Amino acid sequence: MRYTHAFFDLDGTLTESGPGIIHSFRYALAQLGMDPDGFDLSRVIGPPLSYSFRSFGIAEDRIPEAVRLYRHLYNDTGKYENLPYAGIEEMLAALKAAGVKLYVATSKPEGLAKDILAHFRLDHYFEIIAGAAPDGTRSSKQAVLEYLMEQIITLPDAVMIGDTVFDIEGAAAVDLPAIGVCWGYGNTEETKKAGAAAIAHTPAELTDFILG
C-alpha cells in the first residue's frame, strides 16, 4: 500500500457541487446590487468564500454580508444541488476495504460538509470530516489540514486529494504529497505546476494511485 491515510477535498473531488454553489453566489451578488452575469462564477468552487468575494472586488467591509447572503440560500437548498461523482462510492469502499483511513479536509463549514455527506450516505466511510470553523476561521486548506492532522495520533504515508491548486498548495504547506483529480472544477495544468505528484482521470485510477 502506497498511502495509509487519504485526505479528500469535498467540492469538485467527491461531489459535483457546482450548481448549488453558483446559484448561491448569484443570489448573494444580486442582493448586493451587483450583476451576477458580470462575473466568471466558474472559479468560485474550491476557494474560501471570502477569497472569492474579495476577488470580485467586493469591499472588505461588505464581505461578511456577502457571505451571510450566500449561506442564507446555500444552507437552505443549495447544499443539496449536488451529487457524488460517478465511481466515488465504489472508490471509497475499495479503499476502506483495503485498510486505508479516509478523511475529509474541506474549506466548507464543517457542519455543512457533514450534512452533505450524510445526505448522500457517504459519511460512514470517513474517520473524521474536517472543515472550516463556524465563525469562519480555519477556512484555508492549510488551516483545515493542520486541524485535522492534530487529531490523528500517527500519520504515516498520508496524501491529500483535490481538484484545485488550493488543495495542492495547502498540502505542500503541511509537507504532504498531493494527487490532483481532473473531473472537478480546477485547472489540471495549474495543479501540476503547483506540485501534484500525479493526476487521476477517474476514481478507479485514483484508487490505484493510493494503493500503489
| Same fold yes or no, 5-16+82-211 and 18-80 | no
Among 97, 101, 111, 126, smallest CA distance to 14 is for: 126
Give pLDDT, residue 156.
Answer: 79
Q: Which residues pair with 132 in a beta bridge?
A: 109
The domain made up of 5-16+82-211 has a fold known as: Rossmann fold (3.40.50)
Which residue ranges make up each domain of the chain?
Answer: 5-16+82-211, 18-80
pLDDT in tens, the chain (212 residues): 699 999 999 999 999 999 999 999 999 999 999 999 988 898 888 788 888 999 999 999 999 999 999 999 999 999 999 999 999 999 999 999 999 999 999 999 999 999 999 999 999 999 999 999 988 788 899 999 999 999 997 777 999 999 999 999 999 999 999 999 999 988 899 999 999 999 999 999 999 999 98
* Separation of alpha carbons 206 and 198, rounded Å: 9
DSSP 212: -
Catalytic residues: 9
The CA-atom distances, in angstroms, between 109 and each of 59, 159, 199 are: 22, 22, 27
Give pLDDT, residue 67.
Answer: 93
Cα angle at 163 between 125 and 81, to 5 degrees? 70
Instruction: Give first-to-last CA distance, the chain, whole Å.
Output: 5
Give pLDDT, residue 61.
Answer: 95
Interstrand relation of 101-109 and 5-8 (parallel, antiparallel or unpaired): parallel
Q: Which residue has the cell 446555500?
A: 74
Give pLDDT, residue 47.
Answer: 81
Q: Which residue has the cell 479503499?
A: 95
CATH of 18-80 among 3.40.50.2300, 2.102.10.10, 3.10.129.10, 1.10.150.240: 1.10.150.240
Q: Which residue has the cell 477569497?
A: 51
Tell me if the pTM is above 0.85: yes
